[in-house]
Structure 1
Amino acid sequence: MIILLFFVAHWYLSLFVQTFYLHRYAAHKMFTMNPFWEKFFFLLTYLSQGSSYLSPRAYAIMHRMHHAFSDTARDPHSPHFSGNAFSMMWKTKNIYNDFLNNRVEPEMRFDGNYPTWRALESIGDHWGSRLAWGVLYVLFYINFATEWWMYLLLPLHFLMGPLHGAIVNWSGHKYGYQNFDNHDKSRNSLFFDFLTGGELFQNNHHKLPNRVNFGVKWWEVDPTYPVIWTLDKIGIIKLKKARA
């Protein structure tokens, strides 16, 4: 039971920082926050993603490219230009590392206006940090696992951040229904997106990229939106007026 609780907690914490901080804040700037809270959620992103930490800068650049080139050959992670989810993840990893390590200069329209913290970035992307987090996960399992099959969950911990991205980009552009004709293959995969915190409303999001609530129909539930609404009401963030 402890192992399953640990896995669920890691899944949803990692998922929250990805959809709230990396996606809706770093890439889209749907809301603002003061420097203290920006650093707080930056640190929370590192602690939550652990061995699979993703840079807000590299994530924001790639995600902005994804919107501009959705489901074309220039899309960093379209399932329609990869044979399977693993090859799509590998392609995404290579593009991500090119931006992370400044091997490729992004187009000006995709660059800037994202949170940076050079010291924490250096730690988060260092192999020693990733290895240390992996060792911590393994030690936790050694101490609390009660069945052999529980150890099969460890690879998911190691790759939690990229795994969430792969699920969203593969499923959200292949399976489900469309509310809008966006001239791409984006889909809404679930009516209540409890698996990826609203990220699987891809068709809605590609039509309304600055709308903080990814659900559009009354029956489409984005579970991250009530959290964001609450953070706005208590003054931790400030929602921007929605733009088309």
Structure 2
Amino acid sequence: MTILVFFVAHYYLSLFTQTFYLHRYAAHKMFTMNKFWEKFFFLFTYLCQGSSFLSPRAYALLHRMHHAYSDTELDPHSPHFSNNAFDMMWKTKVIYNDVLKDVHEGARRFDGDIPEWKWLDNFGSTVYSRVGWGTAYVLFYINFATAWWQYLLLPIHFLMGPIHGAIVNWGGHKYGYQNFDNNDKSRNTLALDFLAFGELFQNNHHKLPMRVNFGVKWWELDPTYSVIWTLDKVGVIKLKRKVAKRVAVPA
């Protein structure tokens, strides 16, 4: 039971930081926060993602490229130019590393207004940090695992951030329904969104990229938006654009 609680906590905390901080804040700046909270959530993202920490700057640039070139050959992670999800993940990793090292010329035009903490950003991407976190996960399992099959969960811990990205980009651009014609392959994969905290409403998001609530129809629940709404109400963040009460969508 301890291992399963740890796995679920790691999965959803890592997922939350990816959608809340990396995606909606770093990449889109859908809301603002003061420097204290910006550093707090930067550190929180590092702690939650651990061995699979994704640089907020590199993530933001990669994601802005994704919106600009959605489902074209210039899209850094479109499933329609990969043979399978693993192939897509590897291509994304190569481009991500180039962006991280600032050698990807195409990403530079998307730079600007991105949270930075250079020391932590650089350290979180080192082999020392990644191996250190991986070792901590292994030691935790050695102490608390009660069955051999539980060790099969370890690779997911090691690659948690990229796995979340693969679920969203593969599923959200191949499977599901469309509310809007966005001239791309984005879909709303409602059946799998319990694994993505609102991120699998990709069709809605590509149509309305600055809408903080990724759900559009009344039955499209975006769990992350409820947290963002609460943080706005208590003054931790400030929404830039309030969500309209009603949004016209195709029937």
Q: TM-score normalized by structure 2? A: 0.95
Partner of 1:199: 199
Q: Deviations over 1:18-53 (max 9, x none)?
A: 000000000000000000000000000100000000
Distance 2:218 2:50 in 1: 35
Partner of 2:171: 171
Distance 1:72 1:10 in 2: 33
In structure 2, relative to structure 1, the CA distance for the partners of 1:236 and 1:34 (3 Å cut) is same
Partner of 2:127: 127
Partner of 1:159: 159
Per-residue deviation at 1:11? 0.3
In structure 2, relative to structure 1, the CA distance for the partners of 1:175 and 1:17 (3 Å cut) is same
Distance 2:178 2:129 in 1: 41
Distance 1:139 1:220 in 2: 40
Q: Deviations over 1:73-119 (max 9, x none)?
A: 00000000000000100000000000101122345541111100011
Once structures 1 and 2 are overlaid, which stretch shifts more, 212-221 or 182-191?
182-191
Per-residue deviation at 1:231? 0.2
Q: TM-score normalized by structure 1? A: 0.97
Verify the 8 A CA contact 1:191 1:220 in the aligned structure 2.
no
Q: Deviations over 1:133-185 (max 9, x none)?
A: 00000000000000100000000000000000000000000000000000000
Structure 1 residues without counterparts, runs of 5 or longer = none
Alignment of 1:109-124 (within 5 A): 109-124=109-124
Distance 1:120 1:230 in 2: 28
Partner of 2:228: 228
Deviant stretches of 4+, over 6 Å: none
Verify the 8 A CA contact 1:192 1:222 in the aligned structure 2.
no
Distance 1:73 1:242 in 2: 34
Distance 2:167 2:191 in 1: 16
Q: Which amino acid aligns with 2:226?
A: P
Q: Deviations over 1:167-217 (max 9, x none)?
A: 000000000000000000000001682211100000000000000000000
Structure 2 residues without counterparts, runs of 5 or longer = none
In structure 2, relative to structure 1, the CA distance for the partners of 1:3 and 1:43 (3 Å cut) is same
Distance 2:142 2:193 in 1: 32
Partner of 1:102: 102
Once structures 1 and 2 are overlaid, which stretch shifts more, 70-79 or 191-200?
191-200
Secondary structure, counterpart of 2:94 in structure 1: helix
Distance 2:12 2:109 in 1: 31
Partner of 1:209: 209
Per-residue deviation at 1:242? 5.3
Distance 1:35 1:127 in 2: 28
Give RMSD over aligned pairs. Answer: 1.4
Aligned residues: 244
Distance 1:130 1:193 in 2: 28
In structure 2, relative to structure 1, the CA distance for the partners of 1:182 and 1:174 (3 Å cut) is same
